[in-house]
Amino acid sequence: MSIAIQRFPQEAIQQLSLAEFIFPKQSANALPCIVTFENDNWQVASQLSLVKLPSHASSIAMQNPSTIELIVFSDIKLSLLATLVKKCQLSILSLNAINQRNKLISYRFNVSCQQLISARESLAEFALIHKIEAALIEKAPKLATAGVLVMDMDSTTIEIECIDEIATLAGVGEQVAAVTEQAMLGELDFAQSLHQRVATLKDSPESILAEVAKNIPLMNGLEELIAELKQHHWRIAIASGGFTYFADHLKDLLTLDAAHANVLEIVDGKLTGKVLGDVVDAQAKADCLISLQQQYQLDADQTVAMGDGANDLVMMNAASLGVAFHAKPLVLKQADCAINFSGLDCLIHWLK
């Protein structure tokens, strides 16, 4: 089927933002439709509401869509978007949707590429350099369909590393923080590093846990994300290599469906320097995701995992969509997509 299109030279519109070129508010039957970028020319189906610029009308055949989408926000300049497309070696095939969610507007383009992994690596590097949020996602989970989201706790759902805060109050802050950083970078076995850090807390008063919990700072966008997902009957959980004292506190505070973390041994009001039971390591986090998906009989394609450290990678790989949040380079390289500068609620736009 051939469709009438309008052609716009890139040089004539490169200073416009995406929202100034393709207006966010479109008629109900306008999308999806053809939008392509080839040879420094934008080609746009005539049914779209566009900025009024001179154009050359012709026709183009509708192409079979791929399953990959490029998601960018409305304020990106067309000059930067064009550079992104070339850098990642993408071919734009159509505009699938324009989503207005949580006071932001995102555009979802159907794209094709030769190598998705290398294209994602290029996009991750590009987004960091240019300080933008963008994602390249294959078969994204759907916001309006019930799913499960499992998040790491420390430096993901909350702004701090609880064990580092405890250690500071116990007077061993620098020592513990150094080990935490090595574990997050994947340079130390997580379980081994956890026991090593907890051992330094021996004989510290239980009251320091309450002090940390009392002032625990929620990550920007967390409450907005949870509220939006709950409207669509998603299940939400924390799986953490941290401690139940804080994970359970967040579960109650945010009305989450589950929280899995490590149990600190406390005797006579003091920490013993030991962890009770099996350590919640990378595999345990992945098992939590799978268990919740099966418990609530949710589609495996509707699973999302989000974290920032090396011990989140197994969980992220087990999910249909693995999201790196303000993450270490190792995690950023292996994730399906990332959120680098925004709050957690940016995830709402990565979902279809």
CA dihedral (215, 221, 224, 225) positive or negative: negative
Sort 133 into a burial class: Cβ within 10 Å, 0-12 / 13-18 / 19+.
Answer: buried
Please identify which residue in the block is written with the tokens 């995102």: 106
β-sheet with 90-101: strand ranges across: 56-61, 2-9, 41-45, 33-38, 90-101, 104-113, 68-73, 134-138
From 40, 75, 152, 278, the catalytic residue: 152
Distance CA 278, CA 191 (A): 9
Distance CA 24, CA 105 (A): 7
From 40, 154, 268, 299, the catalytic residue: 154
Tell me the C-alpha to C-alpha distance, in Å, between residue 113 and each of 36, 80, 88, 91, 322.
Answer: 14, 18, 8, 6, 20
- Residue 152 designated active-site: yes
- Residue 154 designated active-site: yes
Contact 215, 246 (CB under 8 A): no
Distance CA 273, CA 202 (A): 4
Active site members: 152, 154
